[in-house]
Amino acid sequence: MSTEDLKKGLIGNTDFQHISLSLGEPRNHPPNLIYEYMLDPLLLENGLTTYPKVRGESYLRESISRWLRSRFNIEANPDEQILPVTGTREALFSIAQAVVSGKKDAQIVLPNPFYQIYEGASLLANSSPFYVSANPKNNYLPDLISGNKIGCFGLTESEAGSDPSSMETKFEEVSDGYVLNGSKNWITNAPFADIFLIWAFDNSKKVHCFIIEKDASGLSTEKINKSSIKIAQAGKIFLKNVKVPKSSKLPNTTGWKSVYSCINKARYGIAWGAMGAAETCWLIAKDYSEKRMINKKPLASKQLVQKKLADMITEITLGFSGCILAGRSMDENKDLKIAISLLKRNNCRKALNIVRDARDILAGNGILDEYHIIRHLVNLETVNTYDGTEDTHALILGKLQTGLDAF
């Protein structure tokens, strides 16, 4: 019976793209030279008619090793680091054995429906398969991961920045979904986003998150023109009677825990990024001071310049060390809300001071585009503000020490 006979009378759901579960077999015949080569009597005598070794023939592994060296300058031991395979099935199976086998309580995430070797490789590697069903609720994730679609995080408003509990965007439940009204401000990617995550209150002041597509009726955006962090476009979002289905409300996002888990991750990333900008400007200033000659001596030979460079690298090292320690604690699922406030406040402030010193070392050249320092300086002025200003984080740390709320 042909495939066409099996499909006869079946009508698929036209709302979804067809998923082919057929085997990935070649549909084209090999070139004639392959046929001629395979019929070579000498080749037949040397093993073409027998199964190869599981690890592949040594001459093939050595040939692959030479090619990797000549093409990519990669040294790979042909006896320990190269495994020839005849297709992705064997490759996936071998990867599971090499990477997962022997690890306690290991899990392998599998799409569902899945290619059968995924499950087989997981079980034989003594791990537990974790099935992720392919359904409309996660259709966005592959596109967001690949960059085919852009998302934005709609939390802050004109009157609700560092204090998101003051936001005024609301939603109302109706028979077949929800209706949202309100506005958001300073939302990165908003002018061109495909997917909008919108946080809103219900009538009892409980916060929830909704996922909304850009073509939703009543949703509009407006670009914000700014002189800092130009690479990241920000905008306003307006919601006027935006109706969404029940499935648009994200599960497990009721309450502030979900909001602050996202905010804390952003603040942690900012702590890294601020130090990254500072390190770049330190390197620029150091290189410039070594080449810039004053009275036939390098600028770097001056005591004041060396002190500034020493202060810069000290603060950069401490800032990065704090981020590394916080990251390790995150891996252990420790509560780092206070530590992240400290890191965000400290690293942004110290980065600003470092970049100002770097601009000072370059004097007038410090404001030229070719040296990038002024760009980092203007950007850090903004970074010091968003996701909680320096003063906001000072109040968080003050409350921790005194037990008194000064907000």
Rounded Cα–Cα distance for residues 301 and 203 (Å): 66
Report the pLDDT value the prediction gives residue 95, as an integer from 0 to 100.
Answer: 81
For 124-148, give the DSSP string. Answer: HTT-EEEEEE--GGGTHHHHHHHTS
pLDDT at 27 over 70: no
Report the pLDDT value the prediction gives residue 214, as an integer from 0 to 100.
Answer: 92
pLDDT at 134 over 60: no
% pLDDT > 70, the chain: 90
Angstrom CA distances, 121 to 93, 118, 129, 370, stand at 5, 5, 9, 53
Report the pLDDT value the prediction gives residue 141, as an integer from 0 to 100.
Answer: 72
% pLDDT > 90, the chain: 49
Instruction: Give the mean pLDDT of 237-250.
Output: 93
Rounded Cα–Cα distance for residues 157 and 166 (Å): 9
Report the pLDDT value the prediction gives residue 207, as an integer from 0 to 100.
Answer: 92
Structural domains of the chain ordered from first start: 31-84 (no CATH), 145-254 (2.40.110.10), 257-402 (1.20.140.10)
CB burial of residue 320 (10 Å; 0-12, 13-18, 19+): middle
Instruction: Give the mean pLDDT of 249-261.
Output: 83
Report the pLDDT value the prediction gives residue 280, as an integer from 0 to 100.
Answer: 95
Report the pLDDT value the prediction gives residue 261, as an integer from 0 to 100.
Answer: 83
Report the pLDDT value the prediction gives residue 107, as an integer from 0 to 100.
Answer: 84
Q: How confident is the model at residue 140 (pLDDT cuts 50, 70, 90)?
A: confident
| Rg of the chain in Å (alpha carbons) | 29
Top mean pLDDT of 2-11, 82-91, 284-293 is at 284-293
Amino acid making up residue 171: F
Closest CA to 386 of 343, 340, 344, 350: 344
Report the pLDDT value the prediction gives residue 89, as an integer from 0 to 100.
Answer: 76
pLDDT at 137 over 70: no
First-to-last CA distance in the chain?
Answer: 74
Tokens of 47: 């093993």
Rounded Cα–Cα distance for residues 151 and 137 (Å): 15
Instruction: Note the pTM of the prediction, 2 decimals.
Output: 0.65
Q: How confident is the model at residue 121 (pLDDT cuts 50, 70, 90)?
A: confident
Beta-carbon contacts of residue 154 (< 8 Å; ≥ 6 apart):
184, 187, 190, 196, 197, 198, 199, 237
Closest CA to 300 of 315, 282, 275: 282
| Cβ-contact 325, 334 below 8 angstroms | no
Give the alpha-carbon dihedral of 141, 143, 145, 149, to 10 degrees.
-110
CB burial of residue 328 (10 Å; 0-12, 13-18, 19+): exposed
Instruction: Give the mean pLDDT of 345-354.
Output: 96
Q: How confident is the model at residue 133 (pLDDT cuts 50, 70, 90)?
A: low
Report the pLDDT value the prediction gives residue 47, as an integer from 0 to 100.
Answer: 63
Report the pLDDT value the prediction gives residue 28, as an integer from 0 to 100.
Answer: 72
Average per-residue pLDDT for the chain: 86
pLDDT at 269 over 70: yes
Q: Is 19 helix (H, G, I), strand (E, B) or coil?
A: coil
Instruction: Give the mean pLDDT of 136-150.
Output: 71
| Cβ-contact 319, 346 below 8 angstroms | yes
Instruction: Give the mean pLDDT of 202-227.
Output: 93
pLDDT of 53-101, one tens digit each? 778 888 889 999 999 998 888 899 999 889 888 777 788 788 888 888 6
Rounded Cα–Cα distance for residues 395 and 55 (Å): 62
Lookup result for tokens 């009543």: 218
pLDDT at 26 over 80: no
Rounded Cα–Cα distance for residues 370 and 389 (Å): 30
Tokens of 351: 């980065």
pLDDT of 161-198, one tens digit each? 777 888 999 999 999 999 999 999 999 999 999 999 99
Tokens of 181: 């009204």
Report the pLDDT value the prediction gives residue 6, as an integer from 0 to 100.
Answer: 67
Tokens of 341: 């406030």
| Cβ-contact 226, 236 below 8 angstroms | no
Instruction: Give the mean pLDDT of 111-134.
Output: 76
pLDDT at 138 over 70: no
Tokens of 323: 């981020």
CA 372 to chain centre: 25
Report the pLDDT value the prediction gives residue 88, as an integer from 0 to 100.
Answer: 75
pLDDT at 4 over 80: no
Report the pLDDT value the prediction gives residue 43, as an integer from 0 to 100.
Answer: 67
